[in-house]
Structures are given as structure tokens and as C-alpha cells.
Amino acid sequence: MESQPQHSVIIKAHRGWAALRLGEVWEFRELLYFLVWREIKGRYRQMALGPLWIVLKPFITMVVFTLVFGRMAGFASDGLPYPLFSFAALLPWQFFTVAVSKSAGSLVSNMGVISKVYFPRLVVPLSTAFTGLVDFFMAFVIVLLMMVYYGVFPGWQVVFLPAFLLLALATALAAGLWLATLAVKYRDVSFAVEHLLQVFMYLTPVVYPSSMVPEAYRFLYRLNPMVGVIEGFRWSLLGSGPAPDLALVISSGIVALALVSGAFFFARTERNIVDLL
């Protein structure tokens, strides 16, 4: 019996944009779809409520925030019902935190596949970030129902909503690429991310309006990209809060820089990632 010819894949160093191998990512798009679907099925396997947790998690958090911050602490809500005010912020925030935390540990959790089969490793953090979009759109239905219940309807600003969702995705992916690469060398990165995200939530206007921040620090505060995302969601959906301004433009530029640099850092580490794992 004749032996079958063996094929080898040689990974060569590239310079410039070619180092990102975006063309290979597109060629392996079916693998990207498969990883997203596998993540969705695996997350809610053997759960009694299954995908309902996608809606229950932000809903329960919204109820707690309403009781603690809306009623007991008496936080302002820009003239909106506090449940709607907080839930509109929890949606992009939950998407961001899930995408970042999953992306940070994506390479380590998929080490079995990465060490055996070649494919562009960028597909792994991309798949975890895109998985959060499925959760987002399912929970988004609850926001629409709440808006109808409270009689709040979007104006012309709603056309900008996809742009704020894209900014949230870019921010999560930028952080995820850096953290996923570092987590290969330092396994405690994934644990630290969970705690840092909890602290980071209170540096964004999830439970309070940005108007509560002293005016002297407000511009610096709004350079946080997730501040712009959450304010943008409330502005475009509910017509409340400040409109996009120079701070959002600057923070978007910071995200773009972090995303590109994170992609190049990831690509540079990709050549010896198997050895590190």
C-alpha cells in the first residue's frame, strides 16, 4: 500500500498588515462559525433553563440595582424609570464583560485544538467575542418590551445604535487580544480579569448617570470607551443623557489604536504560542 503524501504548513514571519493574516481568517470563516456555535451550545448544556439565563442574568441584576441604587441610595436616572435606565446600560456592559473574560482565557481553554491542528489563532478570540452578540440580541428584546411598557420610544438617534454596539465589540476585542496573549504566559490573568471588570463597572455609568461625576473630571471620565458606549445606548435608545462629543471621538481613536496594536502583539506571539501552552 502506497503511503499517503503528508502536507506541512510552514508559518513564516510577515511584516506590516500581512502579519495579521486576515486573509487566512476569512478562509477559515467556517471554523469561526463552528466555534461560535460550539460555545453557545456548550454554555447552556445540561441547564434546566438553558438560554433563558441570557435574559435572566441581566434582568435579575437590574432588579437588584433598582432596589439598592434606585430606591435605597436614590440615584438619579435622567428622568427615566430606573429599571429601564439600568437595563439599557446592563446590555452593552454584559456583552463587554462576557466578551473580554471569555477572550482572555480563549487560547488556554482551546489548547487541545491549538496544539494539534493549524489554523489562524486569531479565530479563537474572535469567536468568543462574537458569541456575546448572540446573547446581546436575545436580551435586547427585553429592553424593547420594557420601553413599550414605560411608554418610552426611540427618536431619530436610534440609527446610531449599531455604531455604539460596534464600539463595544471593538473595545472588548482590543482588551481580549492583549489579555489572551498575556494569559498564555501568565495563567492568573484570567482570574484577575474577573475582579478588574467588577471594579471597572463602577467607573462606568451603569448604575448612575454620568452627570453625577464632578464636572472638573467629566471629560477625563468620558475618555473611558465604555462610558461612551453606555451613554450612547441611552442617548440613541431612550433619548436621555449627553449626545456624542469630542470625548467619544478621542476614546474611539484610543480603542482603534489598542485594537490594532493588540492584533499585532497577538500575531507576533502566535508563532511560539504552542510552545508556551
Concatenating the DSSP letter of every residue in 181-213 gives: HHHHH-TTHHHHHHHHHHHHHTTTTTSS-GGGS
In a domain, 2, yes or no: no
Domain residues for the domain of 224 are 21-37+50-67+75-276
Cα–Cα distances in Å, from 231 out to 19, 85, 204, 225?
Answer: 35, 11, 9, 10
Contacts of residue 65, defined as CB under 8 A and 6 or more positions apart, other chains included, come to 82, 86, 90, 206, 207
Task: State how far the Cα of 151 lies from the Cα of 148, in Å rounded to an integer.
Answer: 5
- Which pLDDT does position 185 carry in this prediction? 78
How many structural domains is the chain composed of?
1
In a domain, 222, yes or no: yes
- The residue behind cell 453606555 is 230
In a domain, 166, yes or no: yes
| Weakly modelled stretches of the chain, pLDDT under 50 | 1, 13
- Which pLDDT does position 1 carry in this prediction? 45
Cα–Cα distances in Å, from 5 out to 8, 160, 225?
Answer: 10, 54, 51
Cα–Cα distances in Å, from 251 out to 86, 162, 222, 226, 256?
Answer: 23, 17, 8, 9, 9
In a domain, 42, yes or no: no
User: Using alpha carbons only, how large is the chain's radius of gyration in Å?
Assistant: 21
Task: State how far the Cα of 248 lies from the Cα of 231, in Å rounded to an integer.
Answer: 10
In a domain, 15, yes or no: no
What does the block give as the cell for 240?
A: 436621555
Q: Name which of 89, 92, 96, 110 is nearest 36 in CA terms.
A: 110
Task: State how far the Cα of 117 lies from the Cα of 24, in Å rounded to an integer.
Answer: 14
CA atoms within 13 A on the CB side of 277: 21
In a domain, 8, yes or no: no
In a domain, 43, yes or no: no
In a domain, 262, yes or no: yes
